[in-house]
Amino acid sequence: MNPLLSIIVIPFLAGVLTLIIPKKARFSHGIIAVLALAWMIALTVPLLTVEKRSFQWSLANIKVDDLSFNMAVELVSSKIYSFILLFVGIFGFLIALYSITFMKDHPQQGKFFGFLLWTAASSAGVVLSDNL
């Protein structure tokens, strides 16, 4: 899988996983969040040395007479985008790390970590999108 796409997909899927895991497994929600965000940081660090990296996935290409409509996912990483993305990952990682002990007895722990991971994934998507 492309690293740019992995930076978005892994926290998103980890967020889904934290919502599926039962409430009885208390520390597993936080551990999954910390690991997913650490993985996000680990994938971002090598992007700091690359001048520019891109990923394109064409979803649909519709042509009617002279009109053309192309729907695609385009992700672009430059040094400034990678720097911003690194701090998104670090900030989310620190929040998750602090929240493991703070949220240990909270009944909505899975939702908290799931929404935290979805926020990190969507922030990564905004930073890497080609349409800024």
Q: What is the pLDDT of residues 53-97, one digit of tens each?
A: 878 887 777 888 788 887 877 888 888 889 999 999 999 999 999
For 86-98, the pLDDT digits (tens) are 999 999 999 999 9
Cα–Cα distance between 15 and 78 in angstroms, integer?
26
Chain position carrying tokens 């799931």: 114
The domain total for the chain is 1
* 121, 88 Cβ separation under 8 angstroms: no
CA distances from residue 49 to 83, 91, 103, 128 in whole angstroms, order as listed: 10, 21, 37, 16
Which among 63, 57, 48, 99 is positioned nearest to 75, based on CA atoms? Answer: 57
pTM exceeds 0.95, yes or no: no
Which residues form the domain of 46?
A: 3-128
